[in-house]
Amino acid sequence: MAKEARPIGGRVVAITGGARGIGKATAKALTARGAKVAIGDLDTELAQATARELGGEAVGLELDVTSRGSFEAFVAAVEERLGPVDVLINNAGIMPIGPFDEESDATAHRMIDINLHGVIYGTKIAMPRMKRRGQGHIVNIASQAGKAGLPGGATYCATKHAVVGLSEAVRAELRDTGVEVSCVMPAVVNTELGSGLVETRAVKKIEPEEVAEAIVAALERPKFDVHVPASAGVITKIVSLLPRGGREGVARALKADKVLAEPDKAKRAAYEERAARSEPGLEPEQVEAAGAEKELETTVS
């Protein structure tokens, strides 16, 4: 018999990178169910505009996930405005793509800072608060790229593998504390992050609303592995039983190896430009070099 769903209404939910894409779709889905949602984003004006659009008790706040101080200030502001954080959704992330040997060091540092250190900071800040209350839920947005290595996205895949491993370890540490952890692994999503990416018969884009609904479901009935679509999880389990040569052969047959390796550069140009300016504190020459040389795609998912 299925466990009774935990109500969403009244819960305080903080979402990083919540002004657009998956974050915005999730904020909308949660607000519609009565949650008090705080949208944290580097683009403060857009975060506030998104909060106004959602209505209810939604608030938009400044957040730079690469700075622990900024993250602590964000959580403090959420608790002052809405109350103790019941759910933290570590969603902010970027995805620069292109040949690994052409990737600038600045780009790699930026990806690791946002995709991994941002999740580490958020989780470390939320854990003790939730443990003291004996309840809470941390949701980390990884990717199907956290389960496989895809050409064209080496460093991105590395960060998402790290998020999966981090989530697994933290879940084990939090056993019997009342604090839940979920790791969300979407396929290619129809957001800026997915612009210009190759679709194949086996790899189709999903909508951010589909990811949002999967997150809501995991909050209502706690679940660690959240594959979107669910069929991706089944495929991952089956393929994992094959030897390496077989796994790689299946990937080539399904053309999964083309998804990040052969993007439409023109369709990704605007997003790559924004991605190159997604982390404060970079020297102007670093931004210029990174933006000029790469297929840099970021997602504030």
What are the catalytic residues? 156
Rounded to 5°, the CA angle 29-180-163 comes to 85
* Residues contacting residue 32 through CB under 8 Å, at least 6 positions apart: none
* CB burial of residue 205 (10 Å; 0-12, 13-18, 19+): middle
**In 3-state terms, what secondary structure has residue 157?**
helix
Provide the CA 30 distance to its chain's centre, in angstroms. 16
- How many Å apart are CA 112 and CA 181, to the nearest integer? 21
Q: State the angle between helix axes of 244-253 and 230-239 in degrees (0 to 180), rounded to the nearest 10.
A: 140
* CB burial of residue 176 (10 Å; 0-12, 13-18, 19+): exposed
- How many Å apart are CA 178 and CA 176, to the nearest integer? 6
**Are the C-beta atoms of residues 60 and 50 closer than 8 Å to each other?**
yes
Strands 136-141 and 93-94: unpaired
Which is nearest to 109 in space by CA: 279, 292, 293, 295?
Answer: 279
N residues, the chain: 301
Q: Which tokens in the block code for residue 1?
A: 């018999």
- How many Å apart are CA 278 and CA 93, to the nearest integer? 9
Q: Which tokens in the block code for residue 21?
A: 């894409």
